[in-house]
């Protein structure tokens, strides 16, 4: 399997990937991809759904802009070691992981990656969070945020919810013993109900990329968190 590279830009904190001149929302939390035409991944055209859980190319364009033609989900990405390098805004699909860092186990829930963290300030509670780049913010139920520092409010978008406004907080999370501070919003009730069925506490959003470069390996059920810069990661892995 060859290495494939794609650039992405951030639009309101959400990664929009350019593939063969077309733009797609990158959603590591979606099991299936959406578009009106096959997606060229690597050297193959891969068929995708025209609608998934109510998400269509039309409503993605309406919210994200006319150039967005669909959404890349984990059905397209799962065969690869999926690398995200925030400093270069780079998505690399490789045969193996090229990042040296902390490697943690993943669960797979309906095709999407899930891993466990511990929250600070609320008794060190362990939380199971879906890794979902289609959310700019991490999202957890409001009771878990009551004692966190507030940051006002902001307008957010999630493909399963649409556009909504949420209070924002600074949420302390411990990932493999390392404390990090994330910008978190209140998990919408509709998403809370869906995630609750799978005993998930919330979403770890694209703000994960403010702290780490990421490698997702769904086939091996692992996530590696390391350098945000491709050059540093490549040198470490050499």
pLDDT, tens digit only, all 238 positions of the chain: 589 999 999 999 999 999 999 999 999 999 999 999 999 887 788 999 999 999 999 999 999 988 999 999 999 999 999 999 999 999 999 999 999 999 999 999 988 899 999 887 556 778 999 999 999 999 999 998 888 899 999 999 999 999 999 999 999 998 877 889 999 999 999 999 988 888 999 999 999 999 999 999 999 999 999 999 998 766 665 5
For 192, the enclosing helix (H) or strand (E) is helix 189-196
Q: Is 158 helix (H, G, I), strand (E, B) or coil?
A: strand
CA distance 6 to 97: 17
Q: Is 144 helix (H, G, I), strand (E, B) or coil?
A: helix
In the chain, what are the domain boundaries?
A: 4-94, 102-227
Where b means 16+ CB within 10 Å and e means fewer, 116-154 reads ebbbbbbeeeebbbbbbbbbbbbbbbeebbeebeeeeee
CATH superfamily of domain region 102-227: Acid Proteases (2.40.70.10)
Exposure on the CB side of residue 104, measured as CA atoms within 13 A: 20
Count Cβ atoms within 10 A of the Cβ of residue 39 and give its class: 0-12 exposed, 13-18 middle, 19 or more buried.
Answer: buried
Task: Provide the pLDDT for residue 71.
Answer: 97
CA distance 61 to 74: 20
Q: If you compute the radius of gyration of the chain from its CA atoms, what whole number of angstroms results?
A: 17
Single pTM value for the model: 0.92
Exposure on the CB side of residue 95, measured as CA atoms within 13 A: 2
> Read out DSSP for 61-128?
HHHH-TTEEEEE-HHHHTTSEEEEETTTTEEEEESS----SEEEE-EEETTEEEEEEEESSSTT-EEE
What's 188's DSSP letter? P
∠ CA 213-218-219, rounded to 5° = 135
């Amino acid at each position: 399997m060859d290495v494939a590279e794609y650039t992405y830009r951030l639009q309101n904190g959400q990664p929009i990937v350019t593939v063969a001149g077309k733009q797609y929302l990158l959603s590591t939390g979606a099991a299936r991809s959406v578009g009106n035409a096959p997606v060229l991944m690597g050297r193959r055209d891969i068929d995708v759904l025209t609608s998934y859980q109510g998400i269509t190319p039309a409503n993605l364009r309406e919210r994200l802009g006319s150039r967005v033609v669909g959404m890349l989900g984990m059905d397209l990405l799962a065969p690869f070691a999926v690398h995200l390098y925030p400093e270069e805004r780079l998505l690399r699909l490789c045969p193996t992981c090229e990042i040296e860092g902390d490697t943690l186990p993943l669960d797979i829930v309906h095709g999407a990656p899930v891993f466990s963290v511990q929250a600070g300030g609320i008794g060190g509670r362990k939380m199971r969070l879906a890794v979902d780049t289609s959310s700019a913010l991490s999202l957890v139920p409001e009771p878990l945020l009551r004692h966190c520092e507030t940051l006002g409010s902001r307008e957010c978008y999630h493909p399963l919810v649409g556009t909504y406004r949420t209070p924002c907080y600074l949420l302390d999370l411990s990932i493999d013993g390392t404390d990090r501070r994330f910008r978190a919003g209140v998990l919408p009730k509709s998403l809370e109900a869906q995630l609750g069925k799978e005993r998930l506490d919330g979403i770890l959003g694209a703000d994960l990329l403010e702290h780490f470069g990421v490698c997702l390996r769904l086939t091996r059920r692992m996530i590696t968190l390391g350098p945000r810069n491709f050059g540093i990661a490549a040198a470490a892995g050499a």
